[in-house]
Amino acid sequence: MNEAPPLKVWLEHEGTLLRLRFARPKANVVDAAMMGALAAALDAHAGRPGLHAILLDADGPNFSFGASVEEHLPGKCDAMLKRFHALILKFLALPIPVLVAVRGQCLGGGLEIACAGSRIFASPDALFGQPEINVGVFAPAASCLLPWRIGPANAEDLLTSGRSIGAGEAQSMGLVSEVASDPEAAALAYFKEHLSGKSAAVLRLAMRAARTGFLDGIKEKLARVEELYLSELMATRDATEGLNAFLEKRAARWENC
C-alpha cells in the first residue's frame, strides 16, 4: 500500500493562490519526506506568473510538532540540517507573500518554517515554541529568524528557555499578525482584501525590494550557525545525551560538557 503524501498541494482563486497543507496529523513532523514535498511544491508552482501568494496550513489539531528528533542524531543531522536550511532559504527567497495559518502547537522546525513566511494567523489556542534546548540542542534557523521577527531579547527568551507561548503573547511580541477563531479564513480574507487585486509582477518586485540585503544576511548567519551546530554542539556529550533521552522517554543526565 502506498503511503499518503505528507503534503496537500492545490491552486485556488484562478491560480493566484497556492495552497500547501501539512497532511500527517496530529504531529505533522517536518521530516525528510515533508521537506522534500515542500521543496517540490515550491519548485513546481512558485514561478507561475499570476501567482499572488501562498497559504500554508495543516490538517489536524496541530500545525507541527517540529522536525524529526531521530534525524538530529549524529550521522544524520548533517544531511538533515543542510536540507532543512535550504528549504528555509527557498521560502525566504520567494518573491510572493507566504501566509501561515496556525492551530494548536507550532514548535521547533514547524515554527522555523512559519517564521520564514510573511504573516502568521493563529487560533486562540495556538502555542509557539523552540523546545530544542530541552533536548540538548539549539534551533539554528530560529536563531537567525526570531531576532528579525521579534527582536533579540524576545528571541533569546524563547531560544534559551524552551518555553511555549500562547497566541496572545506571540501577537504582543510581533510573531503573530492576527489571532482569529478560524486562522485559515482570516488568512484568506487578508489575501482577498490586500493581495489578490494587485499586479503579480509588481508584487514580486515589491517583495524583492523589501528583502534586499536581508536575505544575504540570513544566508551568511545561517551558514555560521549551522557550522557551530555541527562542529561544536554535536561534539558535546550533552547533545547526544539529550536526544537519546528524549527518544528513550527518560530524563536527561546532563554533565555540562
Return d(Cα 31, Cα 37) in angstroms, integer.
10
What are the backbone dihedrals phi and psi of residue 121, each rounded to the nearest 5 degrees, phi first? -110, 130
Q: How confident is the model at residue 85 (pLDDT cuts 50, 70, 90)?
A: very high
pLDDT in tens, 181-201: 999 999 999 999 999 999 999
Give the architecture-level CATH label for domain 1-183+198-257. Alpha-Beta Complex (3.90)
Return d(Cα 114, Cα 116) in angstroms, integer.
5
Helix 77-92 to helix 32-45 angle (10° resolution) is 30
pTM of this structure: 0.96
Fill in the DSSP letter of residue 139.
-
Q: Nine-digit cell at 92?
A: 525566504
CA distances from 210 to 32, 155, 165, 171, 205 (A): 30, 22, 28, 22, 9
Return d(Cα 42, Cα 71) in angstroms, integer.
23
For residue 224, what pLDDT is reported?
Answer: 98
Return d(Cα 174, Cα 152) in angstroms, integer.
12
Q: What is the mean pLDDT of residues 192-220?
A: 96
CA distances from 224 to 18, 132, 167, 230 (A): 32, 18, 31, 10
For residues 161 and 133, the answer to whether their CB atoms sit within 8 Å is yes
CA distances from 158 to 126, 132, 163, 199 (A): 16, 10, 6, 38
Q: Nine-digit cell at 215?
A: 536575505
CA dihedral 257, 72, 63, 166 (to 10 degrees): 0
CA distances from 132 to 138, 140, 143, 202 (A): 5, 10, 11, 39
For residue 18, what pLDDT is reported?
Answer: 98
pLDDT in tens, 118-130: 999 999 999 999 9
**Average pLDDT value for the chain:** 96
pLDDT of residue 1 exceeding 70, the answer is no
Fill in the DSSP letter of residue 105.
E
Q: How confident is the model at residue 69 (pLDDT cuts 50, 70, 90)?
A: confident
Each domain of the chain, given as residue ranges in start order, spans 1-183+198-257
Return d(Cα 110, Cα 66) in angstroms, integer.
5
Return d(Cα 16, Cα 48) in angstroms, integer.
9
